[in-house]
């Protein structure tokens, strides 16, 4: 009997480490996974992180995996969904072999496990540069979309936009090392899954979006989807100037929920602030009255 080597050996190692989760009939090691899912409403997202675009060249594989998992978890959080399971695809250039791949997988699993998200399967391929793609499945009885904001709603923002940009500047000097307090917001952010899930469950959020492409750009996306004007308070000016990569939530809710939302943030240790209100009209403005128009700018993968 011959021992398994290379890709087969890595697949077997991943299968042994992954907890398939409830309802998995056929897991890692076959041509596809077979999952029994109960009736309900599911939320599915996918995200790809590419070397030199979404993480620095020379970054430690464990931290690449955690960052990739955080990006997908944040997208699911923006819908108010709870993670269930995911498919993981790795692209590796020559020179990055099984050990490098395994450390990425370890990073992904370590980030996903606290949310009880099971690794169901995936793929492994040669590539000109390292990339990680995750397809994450979640469940929500009341998913929150970008459309739904109503005139009179209040506008809220979690976290501290700009923390990831500041963290990236630090990370460039510390690439590959375990995160410090200064660069954790960039390389190992914590998605707002629990907080967003409560917003959805209690039907407090009327519209919500992840601001990883920058607050200005994602605010415009929510305004377009909801066909409203988002009137941001002057205090939001600094956040609008900051760069992308903040895995934070921008959402709207009825003014009757404001106090309860701030209390929920304190209870779940999630920083959240009220930063404006929804008005009739279109676009995003800053300041009192009709305000000043906010430019629709931010990260764009297709920008030249």
Mark whether 102 and 168 lie in a shared domain. Answer: no
Give the structural domain span for 173.
154-293
In a domain, 1, yes or no: no
Mark whether 13 and 134 lie in a shared domain. Answer: yes
Mark whether 85 and 24 lie in a shared domain. Answer: yes
Q: Quote the pLDDT of residue 5.
A: 62
State how many domains the chain has: 2
Mark whether 95 and 219 lie in a shared domain. Answer: no
In a domain, 3, yes or no: no
Last residue of a domain, one of 116, 139, 162: 139
Q: Quote the pLDDT of residue 288.
A: 83
Q: Are 187 and 68 in contact (CB under 8 A)?
A: no
Mark whether 23 and 94 lie in a shared domain. Answer: yes
Mark whether 134 and 13 lie in a shared domain. Answer: yes
**Could you report how far apart the first and last alpha carbons of the chain are, in Å?**
54
Q: Quote the pLDDT of residue 31.
A: 74
| Pairing mode of beta strands 283-286, 229-232 | parallel
Q: Quote the pLDDT of residue 20.
A: 66
Mark whether 158 and 123 lie in a shared domain. Answer: no
Q: Quote the pLDDT of residue 4.
A: 56
Look at the pTM and tell me if it is higher than 0.75: yes
Residue 33 sits in a domain whose CATH number is 3.30.1330.10
Mark whether 220 and 111 lie in a shared domain. Answer: no
Q: Quote the pLDDT of residue 2.
A: 41
Q: Quote the pLDDT of residue 95.
A: 87
In a domain, 301, yes or no: no
Q: Quote the pLDDT of residue 1.
A: 35
Q: Are 136 and 79 in contact (CB under 8 A)?
A: no
Give the pLDDT confidence of 257-278 residue by residue, as tens digits.
999 999 999 999 999 999 999 9
Mark whether 196 and 98 lie in a shared domain. Answer: no
Sorted by sequence, the CB contacts under 8 Å of residue 256 that are 6+ apart come out as none
In a domain, 145, yes or no: no
Q: Quote the pLDDT of residue 303.
A: 67
Question: Per 3-state DSSP, what percentage of the chain is helix, strand, and coil (rounded to 5)?
Answer: 35, 25, 40
Q: Is 167 exposed, middle or buried (0-12, 13-18, 19+ CB in 10 A)?
A: buried
Residue ranges of the chain with pLDDT lower than 70? 1-5, 20, 242-243, 302-304
Rounded CA separation 130/96 (Å): 8
Mark whether 224 and 280 lie in a shared domain. Answer: yes
């Amino acid at each position: 009997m011959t021992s398994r080597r290379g890709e087969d050996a890595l697949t077997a190692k991943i299968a042994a480490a992954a907890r398939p989760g409830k309802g998995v009939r056929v897991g890692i090691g076959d041509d596809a996974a077979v999952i029994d899912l109960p009736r309900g409403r599911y939320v599915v997202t996918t995200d790809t992180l590419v070397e030199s675009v979404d993480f620095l060249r020379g970054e430690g594989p464990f931290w690449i995996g955690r960052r990739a998992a955080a990006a997908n978890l944040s997208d699911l959080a923006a819908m108010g969904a709870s993670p269930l399971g995911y498919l993981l695809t790795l692209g590796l250039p020559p020179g990055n072999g099984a050990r490098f791949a395994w450390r990425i997988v370890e990073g992904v699993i370590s980030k996903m496990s606290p949310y009880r998200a099971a690794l169901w399967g995936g793929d492994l391929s040669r590539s000109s540069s390292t990339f990680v793609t995750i397809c994450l499945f979640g469940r929500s009885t009341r998913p929150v979309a970008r459309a739904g904001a109503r005139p009179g709603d209040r506008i809220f923002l979690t976290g501290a936009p700009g923390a990831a940009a500041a963290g990236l500047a630090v990370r460039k000097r510390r690439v590959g090392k375990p995160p410090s307090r200064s660069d954790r917001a960039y390389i190992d952010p914590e998605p707002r899954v629990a907080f967003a899930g409560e917003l959805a469950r209690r039907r407090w959020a009327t519209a919500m979006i992840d601001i990883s492409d920058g607050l200005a750009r994602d605010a415009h996306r929510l305004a377009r989807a909801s066909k409203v004007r988002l009137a941001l308070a002057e205090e939001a000016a600094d956040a609008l100037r900051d760069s992308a990569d903040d895995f934070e939530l921008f959402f709207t809710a009825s003014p009757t929920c404001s106090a309860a939302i701030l209390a929920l943030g304190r209870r779940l240790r999630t920083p959240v602030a009220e930063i404006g209100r929804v008005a009739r009209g279109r676009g995003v403005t800053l300041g009192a009255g009709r305000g000043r128009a906010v430019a629709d700018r931010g990260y764009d993968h297709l920008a030249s």
